[in-house]
């Protein structure tokens, strides 16, 4: 599993779907928002948690179609299907590799970009915590969507249409944790809901991804 994880991380970076592309897109979204809504610091401070979460979510979408596409194209996916490693474990490794190369850099960069949106000082810790708890769900859900569309030509748009509705609960509770934390309100309820979504996705969706992959490989 470690060898597969290392290989997938190297492929993600070499194929252009690593942290560089996601961070660049995240930066562009954050920089463009003040031009669109105006330079009012009070307004930017109020919308900062939601904007940062939307930027991180869309940045994660950029590399979803590469999770299984490269393995499908070179035949590695067929070899992985016959390997002793269960297909469920392969789906978990793929999701973990995506999180490490795409989501984790966004979590680390979010506080620096929050400065551009005048995020209140009290909100930085909760922003990092909400992204750290919520982004694993984005990667696992994205892996499921990538498994559904593997082998389809130009399936990137279809993948986005399939995955975005499933991302909405994570976005709602993640942004709510960051917003409440920035305003000094209680965050226990939305944080528990966010953790529950991530835990449920990690526990259930690898089995669904493995089942879909087995069907596509027949």
CA–CA separation, 131 vs 108, rounded Å?
A: 9
> Any idea what DSSP says for residue 39?
S
Secondary structure of residue 19 in the 3-state scheme: helix
| Rounded Cα gap, residues 60 and 141, in angstroms | 11
Residue 4: the pLDDT is 75
Nearest to 29 by CA among 116, 157, 98: 116
Residues 6+ apart with CB under 8 A from 101: 9, 12, 13, 17, 18, 19, 63
- Residue 175: CB partners within 8 Å, gap ≥ 6? 49, 50, 53, 54, 130
Which residues contact residue 100 at a Cβ distance below 8 angstroms, ignoring those fewer than 6 apart?
A: 9
Instruction: Count other C-beta atoms under 10 Å from residue 3's C-beta.
Output: 8
Mark residue 186 as left, alpha or beta (left: phi above 0; alpha: psi -120 to 50; beta: remaining).
beta
Question: Which residues are CB-contacts of 123 (< 8 A; sequence separation ≥ 6)?
Answer: 48, 49, 114, 178, 179, 181, 182, 183
So what's the pLDDT on residue 15? 61
pTM score: 0.90
Confirm if 113 and 24 have CB atoms less than 8 A apart.
no
> Residue 143 belongs to what H/E stretch?
helix 123-149
- Maximum separation of any 2 CA atoms in the chain, in Å: 58
pLDDT at residue 16 in the model: 54
DSSP three-state, residue 117: coil
**How far is Cα of residue 3 from the mean position of the Cα atoms in its chain?**
22
| pLDDT tens-place values along the chain, 218 residues long | 777 788 777 776 666 555 678 889 999 999 999 898 888 889 999 999 999 999 999 999 888 888 887 777 777 777 777 777 888 998 999 999 899 988 999 999 999 999 999 999 999 999 999 999 999 999 999 999 998 888 777 667 888 889 999 999 999 999 999 999 999 999 999 999 999 999 999 999 999 999 998 888 77
Q: What is the pLDDT of residue 19?
A: 60
Q: What pLDDT is attached to residue 136?
A: 96
> Can you state the angle between helices 41-61 and 156-183, rounded to 10 degrees?
150
Nearest to 96 by CA among 205, 8, 196, 208: 8
CB 182 within 8 A of CB 121: no
Domain ranges of the chain: 2-216
């Amino acid at each position: 599993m470690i060898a597969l994880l290392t290989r997938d991380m190297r492929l993600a970076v070499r194929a252009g779907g690593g942290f560089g592309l996601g961070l660049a897109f995240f930066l562009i979204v954050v920089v463009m928002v003040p031009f669109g809504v105006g330079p009012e610091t009070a307004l930017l401070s109020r919308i900062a948690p939601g904007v940062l979460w939307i930027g991180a979510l869309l940045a994660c979408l950029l590399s979803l179609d590469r999770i299984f596409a490269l393995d499908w194209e070179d035949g590695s996916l067929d070899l992985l299907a016959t390997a002793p490693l269960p297909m469920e474990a392969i789906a978990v490794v793929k999701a973990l590799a995506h999180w490490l190369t795409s989501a984790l850099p966004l979590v680390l960069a979010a506080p620096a970009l929050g400065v551009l949106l005048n995020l209140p000082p009290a909100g930085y810790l909760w922003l990092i915590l909400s992204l750290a708890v919520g982004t694993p769900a984005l990667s696992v859900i994205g892996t499921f969507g990538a498994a559904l569309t593997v082998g389809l030509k130009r399936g990137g748009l279809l993948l986005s249409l399939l995955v975005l509705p499933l991302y909405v609960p994570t976005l709602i509770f993640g942004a709510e944790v960051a917003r409440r934390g920035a305003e000094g309100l209680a965050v226990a309820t939305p944080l528990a809901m966010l953790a529950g979504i991530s835990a449920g996705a990690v526990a259930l969706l690898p089995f669904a991804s493995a089942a879909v992959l087995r069907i596509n490989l027949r």
